[in-house]
């Protein structure tokens, strides 16, 4: 009788082990589902959950400098490119296509108005009065320059109508834009364009502009950074600032402004306007490029204005950021080359 009872106990024990073994894959799957439904953590000081990283891909963004398509650039497109503006970027087309996004400063309006700056001398007033051919918008798009900064001192060269036309042509071409235009800010069908959040393969990059030529723009930039911080994984600020043709050190005033932008929440600063390359530095672990110089421009009077810098930003799935610098050269035939 005792032997039969012991056999039953042994049988029950074996049965429990078999049941646990059969249930183990199901329990593991449930645990995985719970983990995969966990919310992503956006705090950069906290390790990002594996699921958040798996939803992202490593991305590459290229920042380039000032782009001007009037004066001799317009003439060069006609003379050497037979009227095709794609000629200007034909030497870098394949290079630009290798990025998830290319960002540049559009130094003037795109309008249907005839140029008044073509053929003018450097000291003439109309030499600085820009109007870009409507074909420029499509050329930007086909060369992967899909985001442009409009917050600069030339975007208002053709007044409010120039801004309206610029946004219209960019909208049709599929090129996004951002930038502080002050009182002449005109909304596009895509919404607020002062700052912009772009989602690239699961990584949200916020772009903010500071335009020195607009009163109160620095204070707005600080506020924009704080507002866009909650919507973005990375915040990049593109200031239009500084002293033209000042090589190297941007000066203590500009450095102080850069530090305040970082303190407000910027992860990266990429500046323009001086038309020459200026210093770069790291502040509190954040990279600052004070000026990338020119990318498309006809300032052939100096080797420094004929050379620029491209900054390649990589953002990994864990939101770690890396940088690579590319040398840019402008030729006297109106073309841009990347070395």
**Cα distances (angstroms) measured from residue 69 to each of 54, 78, 132, 135, 160:** 41, 12, 6, 10, 19
* Rounded mean pLDDT, 302-326: 98
24 and 113 share a domain? no
Sign of CA dihedral 15, 20, 25, 27: positive
Range with the poorest average pLDDT among 22-31, 189-198, 220-229 = 22-31
- Residue 325, in any domain of the structure: yes
The predicted model scores a pTM of 0.83
**Structure letter (DSSP) for residue 32:** H
- Residue 46, in any domain of the structure: no
Residue 90 three-state SS: coil
260 and 116 share a domain? yes
Q: Are strands 280-283 and 268-270 parallel, antiparallel or unpaired?
A: unpaired
114 and 168 share a domain? yes
- Residue 84, in any domain of the structure: yes
Give the other-Cβ count within 10 Å of 264's Cβ: 17
Residue 150 three-state SS: coil
Whether the pLDDT of residue 92 is over 80: the answer is yes
Residue 105 three-state SS: strand
- Residue 53, in any domain of the structure: no
Measured CA to CA, the distance from residue 8 to residue 62 in angstroms comes to 73
Whether the pLDDT of residue 1 is over 90: the answer is no
Parent domain of 7: 2-37
162 and 124 share a domain? yes
117 and 21 share a domain? no
13 and 73 share a domain? no
Measured CA to CA, the distance from residue 236 to residue 44 in angstroms comes to 15
Q: Using 50, 70 and 90 to split pLDDT, how confident is the model at 42?
A: very low
> Structurally, how many domains does the chain consist of?
2
CATH number where 153 lies: 3.60.21.10
Span 258-313, pLDDT tens digits: 999 999 999 999 999 999 999 999 999 999 999 999 999 999 999 999 999 999 99
Range with the poorest average pLDDT among 23-27, 44-48, 103-107, 261-265 = 44-48
24 and 90 share a domain? no
Measured CA to CA, the distance from residue 132 to residue 114 in angstroms comes to 9
- Residue 82, in any domain of the structure: yes
99 and 154 share a domain? yes
Span 100-158, pLDDT tens digits: 999 999 999 999 999 999 999 988 999 999 999 999 999 999 999 999 999 999 999 99
């Amino acid at each position: 009788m005792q032997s039969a009872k012991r056999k039953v106990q042994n049988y029950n024990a074996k049965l429990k082990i078999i049941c646990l073994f059969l249930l183990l894959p199901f329990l593991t799957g449930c645990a995985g589902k719970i983990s995969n439904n966990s919310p992503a953590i956006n705090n950069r000081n906290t390790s990002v959950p594996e699921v958040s990283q798996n939803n992202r891909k490593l991305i590459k963004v290229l920042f380039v400098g000032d782009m001007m398509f009037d004066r001799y650039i317009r003439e060069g497109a006609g003379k050497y490119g037979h009227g095709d503006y794609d000629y200007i970027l034909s030497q870098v087309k394949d290079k630009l296509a290798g990025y998830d996004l290319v960002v540049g400063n559009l130094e003037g309006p795109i309008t249907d108005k005839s140029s008044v700056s073509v053929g003018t001398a450097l000291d003439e007033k109309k030499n600085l009065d820009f109007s870009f051919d409507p074909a420029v918008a499509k050329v930007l798009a086909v060369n992967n320059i899909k985001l442009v900064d409009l917050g600069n001192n030339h975007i208002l060269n053709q007044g409010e109508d120039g801004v309206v036309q610029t946004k219209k042509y960019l909208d049709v071409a599929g090129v996004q834009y951002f930038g502080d235009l002050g009182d002449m800010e005109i909304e596009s069908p895509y919404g607020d364009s002062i700052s912009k959040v772009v989602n690239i393969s699961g990584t949200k990059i916020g772009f903010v502009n500071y335009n020195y030529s607009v009163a109160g723009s620095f204070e707005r930039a600080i506020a924009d950074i704080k507002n866009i911080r909650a919507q973005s994984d990375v915040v990049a600020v593109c200031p239009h600032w500084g002293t033209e043709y000042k090589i190297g050190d941007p000066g203590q005033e500009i450095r102080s402004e850069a530090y305040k932008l970082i303190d407000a929440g910027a992860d990266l600063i990429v500046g323009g306007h001086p038309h020459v390359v200026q210093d770069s530095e790291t502040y509190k672990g954040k990279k600052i490029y004070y000026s990338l110089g020119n990318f498309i421009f006809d300032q052939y009077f100096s080797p420094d204005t004929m050379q620029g810098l491209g900054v390649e930003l990589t953002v990994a799935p864990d939101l770690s950021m890396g940088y690579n610098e590319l040398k840019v050269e402008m030729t006297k035939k109106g073309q841009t080359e990347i070395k």
